[in-house]
Structures are given as C-alpha cells and as structure tokens.
Amino acid sequence: MELALFDPLTGQTFSVLINPERPVSKKITEITGITNEMVNRPDVPPFSKVIEQMLCFCGDGEVCFVGHNAKSFDVPFLAAEFARVEKTLPSTWRFLDSLQIAKALEWDLHDSGRPDSKHARILSVAPV
C-alpha cells in the first residue's frame, strides 16, 4: 500500500510504500495501481516500521485526513494497522471522505466511485 501525506500549511510531503505483509488483491491493484511486485518485497517496510515517522510528520496537534472513500477504506485500514502495532489512532485526528461529499452533492460518479475528471480536479488537494 502507499501512505502519502501532504501538509498544506508547510507544503511538506511524506510518502512511502508499505509492505502489507499479505497479497494485494486484484481489486486493490485496479483501484490504486499498486501491485504485489511493488510492495511485497524485503526492501519495502511494513507499517510497523513507518508508524513513528508518520506520527512525527503529523505532529501532536489536530490533523484532518482527506481521502476519497476514506470512510470505507483508509480509516479502517489505518485503524487495523495501528491495532496490529498495539496503538490507537490519535483522538486529535479527523477524517474527511470526499466520496461522501461527492454523493451529498449528487455528482455523477463512475462505477468505480470516482467522480469524472472535472470533479476530481476540484477535489484534489495534493500537488501533482
């Protein structure tokens, strides 16, 4: 998997591939483009080896994560990974799901749950 964070206040980024320590499904590869060959390698660290770097990047204050389909994928994934290393998600972290916003605005979503490219550009918060 990939952990990619962007701080809009500083412009700093944190991005790392993570070895999920299990096979990547075809569905995940279709959605993300991430393959088993990319992440299931000894030189790609598991989440347990990058969590401290992630926490350091996020700092002690309030953090708002924005992700498309975050409610169904990103948040449960992060919670499970934190649990695997016997930690809990910081109580100061909030999660915003752009898929929920798109649905609330009744945007025309493709079968993948992604908005058309016009809306994807509107929702993009990370530098390209």
Domains and CATH numbers, the chain: 2-123 (3.30.420.10)
Amino acid 99: pLDDT: 86
Amino acid 123: pLDDT: 39
47 burial class (0-12, 13-18, 19+ CB within 10 angstroms)? Answer: buried
For residue 63, give the 3-state DSSP assignment. strand
To which residue do tokens 């169904």 refer? 72
The one-digit pLDDT tens for each residue of the chain (128 residues) are 888 999 988 899 999 999 999 999 999 898 889 999 999 999 999 999 999 999 999 998 899 998 888 888 889 989 999 999 999 999 999 999 988 887 877 766 555 555 554 444 443 344 33
Tokens of 3: 């952990």
Amino acid 122: pLDDT: 41
Tokens of 12: 């700093």
